[in-house]
Amino acid sequence: MKAYHFLKEDMRSGYGNEPPWVVGEERSVEGKIELRLWGYHSSPTLLDALGYASGPVACLVEVSEPVEKYGSLQVSRTRKLLKAVHVGKEMNQLIADWAFETLAKEWKKGQDIPRGIGICLLPWPLRSYRPCGNAGSDWLQARFNKLVTPKL
């Protein structure tokens, strides 16, 4: 089944000591597959995968039937890398747009916006951006789909 995952800039997963992935490569693991501990993790949508991203490389993958699921996270025994695209620039644009949209909404409500507020685009890992990834708004979904999803 098709799914999504993010890799670090060096094409390695966020955890473990595996060598860098190569597009077209398939890997399997032995032993007991366990969510967040052992196996190849993925998500059903790219936006869902963002919440677990360890880097700026968005990946379209094919995974074996998930052994375990929790919310939008799933773990499988086998994963094949079908396509990988560096989307760091697009993610920074998304974060800036999201912050601007959030501030604009507060301003329209007549809320005071603190002086000197700034947007700091932190380096990877993407966990720094988790509030954006988990925002779940229709606006965020639409903007994400426009900026990032077409790359895959």
pLDDT digits (tens, 9 = 90+) for 81-134: 999 999 988 887 877 777 777 777 666 666 655 544 444 444 444 434 444 444
Stretch 46-62: mean pLDDT, rounded? 90
Average pLDDT over residues 46-74: 92
pLDDT score, position 112? 59
Longest dimension (CA), the chain: 57
What's the pLDDT at 145?
77
Residue 21 tokens read as 């992935």
- Cβ neighbours, 10 Å, residue 132: 20
Give the 3-state secondary structure of residue 69: strand
Q: What is the pTM of this model?
A: 0.75
Residues in the chain: 152
Residue range 122-149: mean pLDDT, rounded = 56
Structure tokens at 50: 């963002």
